[in-house]
Chain A
Amino acid sequence: MRRWNVLPLLILALFFVVASLPFRAHAIEPGEALEDAGLEARARDIGRQLRCLVCQNQSIDDSDAPLARDLRRLVRKRLVAGDTDRDAIAYIHARYGDFVLLRPPVDERTWLLWFGPAAALFVTLLFLLWRLRRPRAISPVEALSVEDAARADVLLGDGGDEP
């Protein structure tokens, strides 16, 4: 029972428990913010798209873990150095891997994730339209059995005045 190799995640999960013991405290500290309000707004936006790698499920913008703070400073440093948002994210991505991106990259692994639901929606929609447009033969009405007729009487007795 203990060797449940489908889920090596358990170990990861345990690691997260330990790592996140100071439970969800809060985010960005005074003095971190950039003077330039425009740059700071961009830094916050980027911060919300990057994962705090040692936290449970928090962006670096939400976490008060030291790593998150370092990443926030790094993002701001890159922005001050003139990076675009995309460049700054790519810079972090290159160093910390896919795991840091809260918006997963679109590649062959994630096609199903990104396009699966939309594909399901459109296929079902097309199917439904096809089904509903197709003229259907009206099925002959079967005579009710005595038992069913009695049940119908009971049920209809309540009236169906709700729209």
Chain B
Amino acid sequence: MTAEIGHFALIVAAILALGQSILPMAGAARRHGALMSLGNTLATGQFVFVLIAFCALTWAFVASDFSVANVVQNSHSGKPLLYKITGVWGNHEGSMVLWCLILSLFGACVAWFGSNVSPGLRARAISVQGMIGLAFLAFVLLTSNPFDRVNPMPPDGRGLNPILQDPGLAFHPPLLYLGYVGFSVTFSFAIAALLEGRVDASWGRWVRPWALAAWSFLTLGIALGSWWAYYELGWGGFWFWDPVENASFMPWLVGTALLHSAIVAEKRDALKSWSILLAILTFSLSLLGTFLVRSGVLTSVHTFATDPERGLFILAILAVAIGGALLLYAWRAPTLKGGGLFRPVSREGALILNNLLMTVAALTVLFGTLYPLVVDALGLGKISVGPPYFNATFVPLMAPMILAMGVAPFLPWKRADLLGAFDRLKLIAGVAVALAAAVAFVEDRHSFAAALGLGLAAWLIGAAAWEIAGRIRLFRAPPGESLRRAAAMPRSALGMTVAHAAAGVVVAGITASGVWQTEVIRTMKPGDRADVAGYTIGFAGVREVRVGNYLARRGHFIVSEGGVAVDALWPEKRVYLPQRMPTTEAAIRTTLFADLYVVLGDPDGKGGHAVRLYHNPLVPWIWIGAVFMFLGGMISLTDRRHRVGAPRRSARPASARPSEA
């Protein structure tokens, strides 16, 4: 019965979405207030009914209702409760229901928190949101119904892919979707603005918090996926330029550009038409990512279904959404009037540079991801595009970007003095160059990459710290005064600085772990010892254990430093029941400055085991940095000006200059 309720709720949601796509739009065209506000009710209704469907599906998983085909294929009665719940989105159908849930949630959020948006724009945006919802609900109902029954009912399910039975991966999809799908709101606002034929500075102001929220969640979702890859895949890598990773990275890159161009649109009334284009492109890339992952064009652990019919359906959604949006843009954008004038060297100029580099970086990733498919489809043979290509094209784009990121917050709007800004940062620049020189001098292998990466990281972190220190007049004013200034700092400025510094932390982590990884691969017998980066690792032995739904060979390693045992590590090789699928669980000891990473391999039949020992310096910084980027976004989101509800009058004069460092 629950499955039928869920199915029925999905149908009701689709009907509500149909109404939501038409009625508020018609209302906005006729300036009919009641029709426009009906959109809010429909958006809420759509969310409620998708939520009912989602809960029904979750119930089927939790109660192990093996009369539902999806539960049979992806669950098992012996699975821990957590993975019964996360198994809901650990498969194609369920993950698309989650997609619809998050989409309708964002639509409802526009209805709930959009009271400061002009009614016409809001009604149109809600209508566009309804169209996207309708398309994806139809996709679920017509090609991917998660509530299909199976008869006769099997005694037990086939279980969830063991790789997905992991806390990191369990929460990776919801976070990623909050990001991906969150950009649907900026897309809807862009389309609504084009339909309305009018974009003013307030458009940027309404769009920014949505872009910020989506960007923050996407950052966290990508980071979680990469962290999972790091600890689960078993050799200490964290980013592989895999097509599915790229699929989530492209919207992030363009979304980052959107985040920055929307600032210019709001503050300076410029770059409006460009911001609209970025909003369209960001969500288009999210849709493209969904297509690439869901259609089976690319295959990986993310691809649950390789069904051409589904691929074709998403391709059709993609074509209508992207094609329609771009046509509308081509038609309407020329009528948008440009705003404030500025010189190339100015804060506007720096933000444009960010936009340019981010967009070109996304283009590079797009080319690298799709090129092998295109070349093959054109019958020109098979080529591979792998990490060497991405490293060769990405790093030259990011290096000037990071240089600009350090100095940009010191540039005023309209016209800036670049030399003056550098002059204020000469201490930081000196420290960064000295660090780079020291690294280049000390290190013999890969010294250029190491010097460049760490120099840039130091520059970025230093410049961010310097900016805050200047704003709060640290050491130049009494501590109380500094503290008061820190508390009064606009949250969006503080969030920006935190996120920029965090990006520097990520760069340091990527560089150091890439350049200075130590690796020992050998066969060890119980009692053997190996030295890795100042640690001695003793192998105490292996025993078989049975835990829950898997069997494991568990290794026991004793880590000592200077002859003193400091830790014990227990890497495992697991075989999950009932699929009999093997997984590798690395054991990691982290000091936050470096990870000691131990992987147990296969026995050699002569009493020894293949063992891999890695020392990864600064690798935790990658995820610490990503979390701080997320926090930066959240801090910025709490800015008074983004807060929903009626705007309040500022107590302070509105003339505070950005250059008051």
Which A residues contact B (CB, under 8 angstroms)? Answer: 1-2, 4, 6-10, 13-14, 16-17, 22-31, 33, 41, 48-49, 51, 56-59, 62, 97-105, 109-110, 112-114, 116-118, 120-121, 124-125, 128-129, 132-133, 136, 138-139, 151, 154-163
List, in ascending order, chain A residues with CB within 8 A of B342's CB. 132
B151: Cβ under 8 A from any A Cβ: no
Q: Which residues of B contact A7 (CB under 8 A)?
A: 297, 308, 311, 373, 377
For B308, the chain A residues whose CB sits under 8 A away are: 1-2, 4, 7, 10
Residue of B nearest to A128 (CB): B352
B209 to chain A, nearest CB (A): 13
Bound together, the chains give a CA A6 to CA B319 distance in angstroms of 15
Choice from A24, A102, A118, A138 contacting B387 with Cβ under 8 Å: A102
Q: Which of B375-403 contact A (CB under 8 A)?
A: 375-377, 380-389, 392-393, 397
B368 adjacent to A113 (CB under 8 Å): yes
Closest to A162 in B: B490
Of B299, B352, B490, B641, the most chain A CB neighbours within 10 A belong to B299
Chain B count of residues within 8 A CB distance of the other chain: 87
Q: How far is the CA of A7 from the CA of B234 in the complex (A)?
A: 32
Contact, CB under 8 Å: A26 / B612: yes
A4: nearest residue on chain B (CB-CB)?
A: B308
- A160 and B240 contact, Cβ closer than 8 Å, known pairs A9-B376, A13-B306, A117-B393: no
Q: Which residues in B have their C-beta under 8 angstroms from that of A17?
A: 299, 306
Distance between Cα atoms of A97 and B176 in the complex (Å): 37
Least Cβ distance of B311 to chain A in Å? Answer: 7
Whether, in the assembled complex, B156 has its beta carbon less than 8 Å from a beta carbon of chain A, the answer is: no
- A14 near B360 with CB under 8 A, answer no
Instruction: List the B residue with the shortest CB-CB distance to A44.
Output: B519
Assuming the A-B contacts A24-B234, A31-B523, A113-B368, are A125 and B650 also in contact, with contact meaning beta carbons closer than 8 angstroms in the complex? Answer: no
Given the known inter-chain contacts A100-B384, A163-B656, please indicate yes or no for A30 contacting B647, CB distance below 8 A: no
21 A-B residue pairs with Cβ-Cβ distance under 8 Å, sorted by A, are: A8-B376, A9-B297, A27-B612, A30-B522, A48-B387, A56-B299, A56-B300, A57-B242, A99-B383, A99-B384, A100-B384, A103-B388, A104-B371, A104-B384, A104-B389, A113-B371, A114-B393, A118-B360, A121-B356, A161-B653, A163-B657
Answer whether residue B476 sits at the interface, using C-beta atoms and an 8 A cutoff: no
CA A27 to CA B240, docked complex, whole Å? 14
B163 touches A23 (CB 8 A): yes
> Are B383 and A125 closer than 8 Å at their CB atoms?
no
Q: A129 contacts B237, CB within 8 Å?
A: no
Of A23, A28, A29, A116, chain B has the most CB atoms within 10 Å of the CB of: A23
**A9 CB contacts on chain B under 8 angstroms:** 297, 373, 376-377
Are the CB atoms of B298 and A13 closer together than 8 Å? yes
CB distance from A20 to the nearest CB of B (A): 8
Taking the closest CB of chain B, its distance from the CB of A49, in whole angstroms, is 5
Question: Least Cβ distance of B598 to chain A in Å?
Answer: 12
Q: 4 closest pairs, A vs B, by CB?
A: A159-B650, A102-B386, A163-B658, A158-B647
- Using CB atoms, name the residue of chain A closest to B349: A132
CB pair B384–A1 under 8 Å, yes or no, is no
| A30 and B297 alpha carbons, distance in the complex (Å) | 35
| CB <8 Å contact, B235 and A27 | yes
Q: Are B649 and A157 in contact (CB under 8 A)?
A: yes
CB distance from B310 to the nearest CB of A (A): 10
Residue of A nearest to B492 (CB): A162
Q: Is the interface of A mostly helix, strand, loop or mixed?
A: loop
A4 engages B312 (CB within 8 Å): yes
- Other-chain contact of B389, A100, A103, A161 (Cβ < 8 Å): A103
Once the chains are docked, how many angstroms separate the CA of A43 from the CA of B248? Answer: 32
Q: Give Cα distance in the complex from A163 to B490, angstroms.
A: 8
> Could you say which residues of chain A place their CB within 8 Å of the CB of B237?
62
Please determine whether A103 and B523 come into contact, CB atoms closer than 8 angstroms: no
Rounded to whole Å, the gap between the CB of A4 and the closest CB of chain B is 4
- A136 pairs with B341, CB closer than 8 A: yes
A82 to B118, CA, bound (A): 73
Q: From residue A100, how far is it (CB to closest CB) to chain B in Å?
A: 7
Partner of B381, one of A25, A98, A160: A98
Cβ contact within 8 Å between A51 and B386: yes
B residues 337-388 in Cβ contact with A at 8 Å: 337, 341-344, 349, 352, 356-357, 360-361, 363-364, 367-368, 371, 373, 375-377, 380-388
CB <8 Å contact, B202 and A155: yes
A103–B386 contact, CB under 8 A?
A: yes
The digit string for B636-661, where 1 denotes a CB below 8 A from any CB of A, is 00011100000111101110111100
Query: What is the distance, in angstroms, from B348's C-beta to the closest C-beta of chain A?
Result: 9
Q: Is the CB of B386 within 8 A of A57?
A: yes
Task: Determine the chain B residues whose CB is within 8 A of the CB of A58 once the complex forms.
Answer: 240
Apart from A14-B299, A24-B233, A159-B650, 9 more pairs, CB < 8 Å: A9-B297, A10-B306, A41-B445, A117-B360, A117-B367, A121-B357, A151-B118, A155-B201, A163-B490
A31, B312: Cα distance in complex, Å: 48
The residues of B that contact A154 with a CB separation of less than 8 Å are: 647
Q: B380 to chain A: which residues have CB within 8 Å? A: 109
Is there contact, CB below 8 Å, between A109 and B386?
A: no
Q: Assess the B311–A104 pair: CB atoms within 8 A.
A: no
List residues of chain B with CB within 8 A of the CB of A22: 582
Provide the bound-state CA to CA distance between A97 and B612, in Å: 32
B367 contacts A116, CB within 8 Å?
A: yes
Asked if B584 and A25 make an inter-chain contact with CB atoms under 8 angstroms apart, the answer reads yes
CB distance from A67 to the nearest CB of B (A): 14
How many angstroms from the CA of A72 to the CA of B640 in the assembled complex? 58
CA separation between A103 and B137, bound complex, in Å? 40
> Interface 1/0s, chain B 293-308, versus A by CB < 8 A?
0001111110100101
With A7-B297, A9-B373 known as contacts, the answer to whether A113 contacts B392 (CB < 8 A) is no
Query: B488 — nearest CB in chain A belongs to which residue?
Result: A161
B267 within 8 A of A: yes
B299 touches A117 (CB 8 A): no
Of the residues A10, A57, A163, contact of B243 by C-beta under 8 Å? A57
Separation in Å of the B465 CB from the closest CB of chain A?
A: 17
A48 and B388 contacting across the interface, CB-CB below 8 Å? yes
**Residue B29, interface by CB 8 Å:** no
Which residues from chain A contact B243 at a C-beta distance below 8 Å?
Answer: 57
Complex: A9 Cα to B308 Cα, angstroms? 11
- With a cutoff of 8 Å between Cβ atoms, the chain B residues found around residue A23 in the complex are 163, 301, 583
List, in ascending order, chain A residues with CB within 8 A of B657's CB: 163
Q: How far is the CA of A16 from the CA of B382 in the complex (A)?
A: 15
Nearest-CB distance from A32 to chain B (Å)?
8
Minimum Cβ distance to chain A for residue B58 (Å): 27
Complex contact B297–A10 (CB within 8 A):
yes
Min CB–CB distance B495 → chain A (angstroms): 10
Determine if A29 and B610 form an interchain contact, defined as CB atoms under 8 angstroms apart: yes
